[in-house]
Amino acid sequence: MTRLRTLLGIGLGLAIVAGAGWYISQPGSAPPAARQGGGGRFGAGMAVPVGLATAAKGDVPIIVRALGTVNPLATVTVRSQISGQLVQVNFTEGQEVKKGDLLAVVDPRPYDVALKQAEGTLEKDQALLANARVDLERYKKLVAQDSIARQQYDTQAALVRQYEATVITDQALVDAAKLNLVYTRIVAPNDGRIGLRLVDQGNYVTVGDSTGICVLTQMKPISVLFTIPEDTLPAVRARLKAGATLEARVLDRAQKTEYAVGKLSTTDNQVDVATGTVKLRAIFDNTDESLFPNQFVNVRLLVDTVKDAIVVPVAAVQRGQPGTFVYLVKPDDTVEVRVVELGATDGEKVAILKGLQLGDQVVVDGVDRLRDGAKIRRPTRSAGGPPIANAPPDAPAPGVAPQGQGQQGQGQQGQGPQGQRRQQQAPGGPGAPGGAAAAQPAPAQANR
């Protein structure tokens, strides 16, 4: 009995398979796309929807993209130039200061005393010098009268020169004491912003202190160091030698937000042999302090601009067996493979040196479904927007009503074949006699 059931099941399965094959082979049962003579959504002879662009005259900027780091023009660790107790701190962390602003004070009393001592020694030696000069004048007259020996006069002259040297030394000691007294007031060496405080009031600071009192960083203006390949260096140097000012733009890590616009300042004097790149420095005003020291940024350097070139979108350019080509749209709505020669590009549009004329239309969207001589369907213009390339609807099967014909009147919804509810308006419209017309059932398919 079990064996008989197994044989009956196998026989029934074979009958189902044979019936399905016979049904598919009938002319009326083929899918719509197959009856149209093609496979997939766009059969043979059907127009392919595409997006178009027109070759126009425009300027193409030659931009070098690079990675850079924000680098301040001056970073100073403020240290004491004398030893002593820090008796006053006049800044707060993060404060913006100007050149010459008082930052801190070292106890000045020991240096004031040293200055007075040096001035006293200077006064004493100046008095000795004055007395020696008077004696020298007296000895000079006596020597002229032959009243004293010549040797006594020479000795007095040497003594005057000795006192003069002593006075010079004393004056230097006085100046050094005054300078030390000036050093007790620690001032800002340049404009900038102060970082975190490194030493507190009351500590004893020395000349050899490595930590310093604070770090002062210049924020405005600020520079960005970046590297470019050595192959692009000749074009940059040629523009700089011609006196041109090259514009540099700085963007964030994601290249979405532009921080600042500046200019190229200088290039390094040698190429890094390990990487084949050269360093450049660009200067930015940074008035809003959007650039921060050691910040990672993306740099776009405008090297030159190609004027009045024939340009098309980069998406129109294809590469294949013919080389670099575009799909040129002909008046009969077919496309032709046109080999072109490319020029400069800015990433969005590219200059065409040979192969296209002004006003030529090229395909920028839908090129994956095209071949030489293929039929295209031009894009339609949507309300309030640019032309878009809409795919044509699939052709309905014979005897099957298009989707939406079996819907209720305006304001009612019907269920589509994929479960999507769509809003449809009845053929009569709101103003037709009798109100919204009822949907008519679709006739059954033939050859079922």
What average pLDDT score do residues 394-409 get? 40
Instruction: Give the CATH architecture of domain 82-216.
Output: Beta Barrel (2.40)
Point out the least confidently predicted range of 13-27, 37-51, 369-383. 37-51
pLDDT tens digit string along 184-242? 999 999 999 999 999 999 999 999 888 899 999 999 999 999 999 999 999 999 999 99
In the chain, CATH 2.40.420.20 covers 309-388
| Percent of the chain clearing pLDDT 70 (strictly above) | 79
Q: What is the structure's pLDDT at 346?
A: 82
Q: Report the C-alpha gap between 54 and 231 in whole angstroms.
A: 33
Query: Which of 266, 270, 263 is closest to 241 using CA atoms?
Result: 266
pLDDT tens digit string along 46-71? 888 999 999 999 999 989 999 999 99
In the chain, CATH 2.40.50.100 covers 82-216
Task: Look at residue 113 and tell me whether its pLDDT is greater than 80.
Answer: yes
155 band by pLDDT with thresholds 50, 70 and 90: very high
Reported CATH class of domain 64-73+218-307: mainly beta
Query: Is CATH 2.40.420.20 the classification given to domain 309-388?
Result: yes
End-to-end Cα, the chain, rounded Å: 37
Question: In the beta sheet, which residues pair with residue 266?
Answer: 281
Task: Look at residue 276 and tell me whether its pLDDT is greater than 90.
Answer: yes
SS3 of residue 40 by DSSP: coil
This prediction has a pTM of 0.63
**What DSSP string describes 88-151?**
EE---TT-EE-TT-EEEEE--HHHHHHHHHHHHHHHHHHHHHHHHHHHHHHHHHHHHTT-S-HH
Higher pLDDT, 121 or 396: 121
380-381/335-339 β-pairing:
unpaired
Q: What is the structure's pLDDT at 36?
A: 44
Q: What residue type is 396 in one-letter code?
A: P
In the chain, CATH 2.40.30.170 covers 64-73+218-307
Compute the mean pLDDT over every residue in the chain, rounded to the nearest whole number: 82
pLDDT tens digit string along 127-136? 999 999 999 9
Task: Look at residue 434 and tell me whether its pLDDT is greater than 80.
Answer: no
